[in-house]
Every structure is written in C-alpha cells, then in structure tokens.
Amino acid sequence: MIRTEGLEMEFKVGFAMRRVKALKGLTMEVKRGEVFGFLGPNGAGKTTTIKILVGLAYATAGKAWLMGKELGDVRVKEGLGFLPEQPYFYDYLSAWEFLDFYGRLFGIPKKARKDKAVELLGLVGLSQSKDLQLRKFSKGMLQRIGIAQALINDPELVILDEPMSGLDPIGRKDVRDIIMGLKEKGKTVFFSTHILPDVEVICDRVGILVKGELRATGTVGELLGSMEARSMEMTTEGLGPEDLKELERLSRQMVIRDGQASMFFDDPDKAREARRLVCQRGGDIVSLIPHKGSLEDIFVEEVKKGGRP
C-alpha cells in the first residue's frame, strides 16, 4: 500500500545554507489492510515523510509508491485520505459547507456529496453542529471534522499525522474507535504519534523513526518479545523497620504506604534474595509482578541509541 525506497530529504538551514538531512534513506513497506503506527521523537522526520507521501514536499532522493503508483501521479490521491498535524481549516465555513467543498475537489456529484457528508458528520458525532462555522469549534471538534474531511472520498489509504495529540482522553478514544472502524472496513491506516499506549492497542505493526532513520519495525508483539523481563515489583507486609532497611539496600527503590512496602528490583538475583529474606523474617508477600518492557521502553531505548536530535 505504501512503499518507500531510500527516501531522503535535505534542507538548507540558515544563512550559511548548512545542509541538514531530515531523512536518511528511509525504506519501508505498509501492507494493505493494516494499521501502521509511525513512532518517533519530535524532529525525527515523521511529518517530513508524511509530507512527501501526500505530495506537499519533494524528496531529494529515493522513490515512493502509494497503492502501486509512483508519487507524482495525481490519480494516486483519488484513493488517499489525509489529516495534517494540528489542522487549521477554513474557519469561515460551516461544517456542512466544509465537507461539501472537499467533496467537490474530488468531483463527487452533488447527491453523493450530500449523502456522504451526512454519513460522515454522523460518524464523527457532529450532526448537531453541521451549520456552525468552524471558528466556533473546539479543538476536539476540529480534529473530528478533520477526520471526516479525510474520509470524504472513501479512501483506500488513510494517512493521519498525530491524530491524537492535543485531545482529551475521550477525544482520543473517539479517534481510536474511528481508526478501528476503518480497519474493519479493510482500509489501510498509517498514522504518526507519540501516544504509545494507543499504539499498543490499535496498531498491527509499528515503525520507529529516529533522526531520519527507521530503527525498528514489526508487530508490537515482535518488538516486545525481543525484550527480557526487565524488573520485578514486590509488595510485602508484616515486616519490622530493621528488615525493611535490609530490603531497601537490595532494591532500586522502595515505597512504604498503608503498612505495605513496595520495592523494585532490576537484578533477578537480588529479587530472589529479597524473597528469601521476607520468608525468613516471617513477612508476607502480597504481590510479585514481573515488569516486561513496554513499547515505551523500546522507544526510549531506540531514541537513546540514536541520541536525541
């Protein structure tokens, strides 16, 4: 659905025209029907990649294909839906006029345009506000009408740039539900984000971009599977202050609350020793939780390897 080969982007910065590479030979593939999360810290080149894909910027080297057609072919965009980062729209238009305008850009006939607008306003929950000018919309409403705009042509491929940033938890859930709905209809969704818990829930595959290079790609399970259990969290009760002091020496961190002591261990051996100690001193182990790495750990690790941009 999306394929890039050695995509490069070079900017000239400042008065001295210093060359800065925003993308360094990006090669990746997104398959039909999958939800692909594109992760990376600020300045990694996510938005640049997306801009190249949707035709807002031209790559300095490399090639890319959308739906089997090479970029530059305007017909590619017939099947493409796109929501930019922090979108601003024509605030003098009402929601209704707004969708109608985008429908016209695809040359959709009047009747079909009307039906589609009704359907989409329902989908994003804005049917009540259809005659309201966009300048009176809240941030969450703008994001939702933005998504409606991206779906006006019933696209095969939907590209969303940071669709969840700046939204409250309910707004994020709405966006997540819409993406899942698209997946059910067999659409391909490619989106960039920082909000990792959402990625774990909805993405089939993810790619991690750091400093213009793709560091890791695979399913969330694959990426997590490559990690060992990292740390152990143990909660105990019924121990005296002396015992706790000993345990504190073994642990990385200890928190005492409501008569219970929770401690974290990085080293499995130390965790084992601590368990033995608790049993010897007659304390109880309330819980013992191994912490496996989360997507966030992988993300942080990859970013650290690359050095922050």
Partner 1 sequence: MKVLAIAVNTFKEVIRDKIFYSLVFFALLIVGASVLLSTLTLGEQSKIIEDLSLNGINLFGVIIAIFVGIGLVNKELEKKTIYTIISKPIKRYQFLLGKYLGLALTLLVYVAVMTLCFLLVLYWYSHIVAVSLLPAVLLIYMELLVVTAAAILFSTFTTPTLSATYTLALYVIGHTITDLKALALTVAKKAPAATSVLDFFYYLLPNLQNFNIKSQVVHDIPVDPGYMCMAITYGLLYIAGLMAVSVLIFQKRNFK
Q: Rank residues 24 and 69 by Cβ distance to partner 1 and give the closer one.
A: 69
- The pairing of strands 157-161 and 80-83 is parallel
Site string for partner 1, 157-196 (x = CB under 8 A): --x-------------------------------------
Question: Cβ of residue 216: shortest distance to partner 1, in angstroms?
Answer: 28
User: Residue type at 61?
Assistant: A
Q: Is 10 in the site for partner 1 (CB under 8 A)?
A: no
CA 234 to mean position of chain CA atoms: 32
DSSP per-residue letters across 52-106:
HHHTSS--SEEEEEETTEETT-GGGGGGEEEE-SS----TTSBHHHHHHHHHHHT
Q: Is 87 in the site for partner 1 (CB under 8 A)?
A: yes
Q: Is 93 in the site for partner 1 (CB under 8 A)?
A: yes
Contact region with partner 1 (CB under 8 A), list: 145-153, 198-206, 230-238, 242-250: 145-153
Q: Which of 15, 42, 88, 280 binds partner 1 (CB under 8 A)?
A: 88
SS3 141: helix
Q: Is 38 in the site for partner 1 (CB under 8 A)?
A: no
Nearest Cα to 198, choosing from 217, 180, 218, 216?
180
Distance between CA atoms of residues 82 and 55, nearest Å: 11
Q: Which of 90, 226, 256, 304 binds partner 1 (CB under 8 A)?
A: 90
Element (H, E) at 8: strand 2-13
- Binding residues for partner 1, per CB under 8 A? 51, 54-58, 74-75, 77-78, 80, 82-84, 86-90, 92-93, 97, 101-102, 104-107, 146, 149-150, 153, 159
